[in-house]
């Protein structure tokens, strides 16, 4: 947009040229003009007002603060800041997200992306908002982990420690940002100091231009050179920006007044500058009606900079008129922006009320007493849903942000304490259950090498039944004792299975038949007719089953058969689900025929875990959908949302397949 404005304004410099004063004689001397007394450098506090060189700046100007000036000051401050570091302009191009709604992992990814691609000053505000959101979530997370640790280890004297790879990555990326910003500031400070010295030197040279001893053409050439050097002098410290520019502008106007001997050339330049400023005024009149207030205000800032830095003065009789038009329109834009801010404030107040309701709901859950683990799981799900709603509710007014966050943390902490008190009460029962299960583990390990199968087998089965009747044990011991118990039982029953298979002539015959049949199956060729081929494959499967079980040590032949079947199924145009289900049914029938209860049970456990994993993944994706659709700047059907919906559909289809497998397996067990 700035490039378009520069094109519209055409030659914004409005430089006087030596050609414009050809009427002057080459040997004309300044002695022919009235003598000009030296003008002292003024201190000007109104950064935008065009100063008359014949009027002394009033001492009380610094105290004049009207409504127009407030609007002008806000633009001056912003332009001064951006003039110091031009990368600050880019911060307006990066949308500020509601980072409170993102997860810790998403916050780290966003931080990494910004630090990797953005300029340090343009991303500084975003990085600090991400830091605030991440640390708030992380501290809350650590508090919960600490409470869980002390609940499970009430008598421990060790300090709580928790390593988070996510926190480590966050610290690394944030440290890189701090290094980058320090390097940036060191380089910036050096350049700002040098540029300030150059600009002050240019001002001093301007003061010296009013010299009666110099040829007017040479003076004019020198003046234009100084203006060009000023344009290319680079950024200076923001606290010096307005003061240095005003002094420069003051002496530029002095020089124009000094050129009164060539009134025609000067008036022509004044006219040109007035036309440029009138174009700016016309553009601002359009901006006042712009729907995007923030975008319009950004362009207004750029127009102020062009007005000040690129366009020269106008005639004294037009200065106040054109400036008042410009400042009045600026005031209107400023008022529209203030209305927008008030509207945003109203939205933040609405968000505050939502969060207060959420906090109140959590406080209620922190007093509802339940007496079963399953009920507590429901309570925990409710709190998690409320936590998600809290983070998705949007920003609240900054003056109550900390207070609201503290109230939320307190409510969740009270709930966790209330929940932990329940589990402390049942910890004694879990300790007793642990002792009982440890006794069963010891007994199973003692019997696992027994060869008296007739006596030991009923005992081992009774031990397994007793294990199922015992309740929960402390979570940190659960996996360990289950693994020990399962290994002892599996070891014994594997030996029992091998013993049964050793003398089975029938199973050996079945092995020989299946071995011969593999050669027949390898030679089988598909006809190309889908139904015919599918029926033929099913017939092969049925024939294979009819051969019966094979000896336990020779069950590898089943794998060879399944491998050939897999190759045949790959050639069929079956759906993935149909192929998968046929293969699964064949494999389960094989395990059932061999009475391989251990593998059947393991398969059942595996399928149940897969179902649970898919349900969790679907829930997470559906939560992501809610996030994208609730985000203020998100489009309802952008590519990300469509991709998430696609993933949900794929996961649901896979979930149906696993459920069907579990159903088949359970029916198999019942048979």
Which of 533, 585, 79 lies closest to 297 in space, CA to CA?
79
- Count CB atoms within 10 A of the CB of residue 448: 18
Confidence band for 32, pLDDT divided at 50, 70 and 90: very low
Q: What is the arithmetic mean of pLDDT over 646-670?
A: 80
Confidence band for 482, pLDDT divided at 50, 70 and 90: very high
As a dihedral over the C-alpha atoms of residue 7, residue 8, residue 12, residue 16, rounded to 10 degrees, the angle is 100
Is the pLDDT reported for residue 46 higher than 50? no
Confidence band for 97, pLDDT divided at 50, 70 and 90: confident
Specify whether the CB–CB gap between 134 and 108 falls below 8 A: yes
Quick: pLDDT tens for 321-339: 888 888 888 888 888 787 8
What DSSP string describes 68-81?
HHHHHHHHHHHHHH
Residue-level pLDDT at 502: 64
Helix axes 475-502, 453-469, angle to 10 degrees: 150
Instruction: State the distance between the two ends of the chain, measured CA to CA, in whole angstroms.
Output: 77
Residue-level pLDDT at 483: 92
Specify whether the CB–CB gap between 637 and 629 falls below 8 A: no
Residue-level pLDDT at 332: 82
Residue-level pLDDT at 154: 62
Look up residue 334 and give its two tokens.
Answer: 């400023």
Quick: pLDDT tens for 51-79: 333 334 444 434 334 556 655 666 666 55
How far apart CA 620 and CA 626 sit, in angstroms, is: 10
Specify whether the CB–CB gap between 122 and 87 falls below 8 A: yes
Measured at the CA of 15, the angle between CA 301 and CA 20, to 5 degrees, comes to 150
Which of 442, 458, 448, 457 lies closest to 490 in space, CA to CA?
448
Residue-level pLDDT at 646: 81
Q: How far is CA 361 from the centre of its chain?
A: 28
Which of 156, 223, 180 lies closest to 18 in space, CA to CA?
223
Cβ contacts of 423-428, under 8 Å, gap ≥ 24: 423/151, 424/151, 424/154, 426/373, 427/474
Confidence band for 213, pLDDT divided at 50, 70 and 90: low
How far apart CA 133 and CA 105 sit, in angstroms, is: 12
Q: Which of 132-146, 277-291, 395-409 has the lowest mean pLDDT?
A: 132-146
Quick: pLDDT tens for 571-597: 776 666 777 777 777 777 767 766 667
Residue-level pLDDT at 28: 33
Residue-level pLDDT at 490: 93
Q: What is the arithmetic mean of pLDDT over 494-508?
A: 75
Which of 230, 108, 246 lies closest to 176 in space, CA to CA?
108
Specify whether the CB–CB gap between 95 and 127 falls below 8 A: no
Quick: pLDDT tens for 218-268: 777 788 888 888 877 777 777 777 788 778 878 877 777 666 545 666 778
pTM score, two decimals? Answer: 0.35
Q: Which of 141-155, 488-502, 544-558 has the lowest mean pLDDT?
A: 141-155
Specify whether the CB–CB gap between 67 and 331 falls below 8 A: yes
Specify whether the CB–CB gap between 82 and 89 falls below 8 A: yes
Handedness of CA 436, 442, 445, 447 (dihedral sign): negative
What's phi and psi for 665, nearest 5 deg? -65, -40
Q: What is the arithmetic mean of pLDDT over 141-152?
A: 72
Q: Report the percent of the chain where pLDDT is more than 70.
A: 77
Is the pLDDT reported for residue 21 higher than 90? no
Specify whether the CB–CB gap between 274 and 315 falls below 8 A: yes
Quick: pLDDT tens for 399-410: 888 888 888 888
Is the pLDDT reported for residue 610 higher than 60? yes
Specify whether the CB–CB gap between 78 and 301 falls below 8 A: yes
Q: How far is CA 619 from the centre of its chain?
A: 20
Is the pLDDT reported for residue 651 higher than 50? yes
Look up residue 388 and give its two tokens.
Answer: 């998600």
Confidence band for 472, pLDDT divided at 50, 70 and 90: confident
Handedness of CA 412, 418, 419, 424 (dihedral sign): positive
Residue with tokens 């399944």: 562
How far apart CA 189 and CA 239 sit, in angstroms, is: 13
Look up residue 380 and give its two tokens.
Answer: 């925990």
Look up residue 465 and give its two tokens.
Answer: 């039944």
How far, in Å, are 210, 519, 523, 541 from residue 515 at the CA level?
Answer: 112, 7, 13, 14
């Amino acid at each position: 947009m700035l490039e378009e404005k520069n094109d519209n304004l055409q030659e914004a410099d409005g430089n006087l040229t030596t050609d414009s004063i050809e009427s002057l004689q080459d040997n004309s001397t300044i002695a022919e003009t009235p003598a000009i007394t030296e003008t002292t450098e003024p201190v000007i506090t109104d950064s935008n007002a065009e100063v008359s060189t014949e009027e002394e700046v009033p001492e009380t100007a610094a105290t004049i603060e009207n409504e127009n000036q407030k609007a002008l000051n806000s633009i001056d401050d912003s332009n001064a800041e951006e003039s110091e570091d031009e990368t600050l302009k880019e911060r307006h191009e990066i949308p500020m997200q509601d980072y409170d709604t993102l997860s810790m992992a998403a916050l780290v990814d966003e931080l990494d992306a910004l630090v990797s691609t953005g300029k340090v000053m343009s991303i500084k505000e975003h990085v600090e908002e991400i830091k605030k959101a991440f640390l708030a979530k992380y501290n809350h997370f650590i508090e919960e982990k600490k409470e869980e640790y002390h609940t499970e280890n009430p008598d421990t004297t060790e300090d709580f420690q928790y390593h988070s790879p996510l926190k480590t990555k966050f610290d690394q990326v944030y440290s890189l940002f701090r290094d980058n910003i320090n390097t940036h500031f060191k380089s910036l400070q050096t350049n700002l100091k040098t540029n300030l010295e150059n600009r002050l030197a240019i001002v001093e040279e301007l003061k010296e231009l009013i010299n009666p001893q110099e040829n007017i053409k040479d003076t004019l050439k020198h003046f234009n050179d100084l203006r060009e050097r000023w344009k290319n002098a680079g950024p200076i410290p923001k606290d010096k920006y307005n003061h240095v520019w005003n002094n420069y502008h003051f002496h530029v106007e002095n020089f124009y007044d000094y050129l009164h001997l060539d009134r025609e050339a000067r008036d022509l330049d004044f006219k040109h500058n007035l036309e440029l400023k009138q174009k700016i005024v016309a553009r601002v009149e359009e901006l006042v009606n712009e729907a995007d207030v923030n975008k319009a205000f950004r362009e207004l800032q750029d127009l102020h900079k062009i007005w000040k830095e690129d366009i020269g003065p106008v005639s004294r009789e037009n200065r106040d008129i054109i400036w008042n038009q410009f400042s009045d329109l600026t005031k209107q834009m400023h008022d529209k922006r203030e209305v927008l801010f008030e509207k945003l404030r109203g939205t933040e107040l609405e968000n505050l009320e939502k969060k207060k309701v959420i906090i109140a709901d959590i406080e209620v859950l922190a007093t509802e007493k339940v007496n079963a683990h399953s009920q507590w799981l429901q309570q925990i799900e409710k709190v998690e849903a409320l936590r998600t709603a809290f983070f998705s509710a949007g920003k609240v007014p900054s003056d109550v942000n900390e207070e609201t966050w503290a109230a939320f943390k307190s409510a969740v902490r009270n709930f966790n304490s209330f929940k932990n008190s329940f589990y402390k009460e049942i910890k004694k029962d879990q300790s007793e259950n642990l002792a009982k299960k440890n006794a069963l583990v010891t007994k199973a390990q003692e019997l696992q090498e027994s060869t008296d199968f007739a006596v030991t087998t009923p005992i081992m089965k009774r031990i397994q039944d007793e294990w199922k009747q015992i309740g929960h044990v402390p979570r940190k011991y659960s996996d360990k004792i289950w693994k020990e118990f399962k290994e002892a039982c599996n070891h014994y029953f594997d030996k029992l299975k091998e013993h049964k298979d050793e003398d089975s002539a029938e199973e050996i015959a079945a092995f020989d038949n299946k071995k011969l049949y593999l050669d027949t199956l390898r030679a089988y060729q598909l006809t190309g007719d889908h139904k015919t081929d599918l029926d033929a494959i099913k017939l092969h499967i049925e024939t294979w089953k009819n051969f019966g079980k094979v000896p336990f040590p020779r069950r590898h032949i089943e794998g060879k058969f399944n491998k050939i079947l897999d190759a045949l199924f790959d050639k069929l145009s079956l759906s993935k689900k149909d192929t998968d289900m046929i293969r699964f049914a064949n494999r389960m029938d094989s395990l059932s025929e061999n009475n391989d209860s251990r593998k059947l049970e393991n398969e059942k456990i595996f399928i149940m875990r897969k179902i649970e994993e898919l349900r969790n993944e679907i829930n997470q994706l559906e939560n992501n959908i809610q996030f994208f659709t609730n985000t203020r700047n998100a489009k309802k059907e952008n590519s990300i949302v469509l991709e998430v919906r696609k993933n949900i559909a794929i996961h649901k289809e896979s979930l149906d397949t696993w459920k069907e497998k579990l159903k088949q397996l359970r029916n198999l067990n019942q048979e």
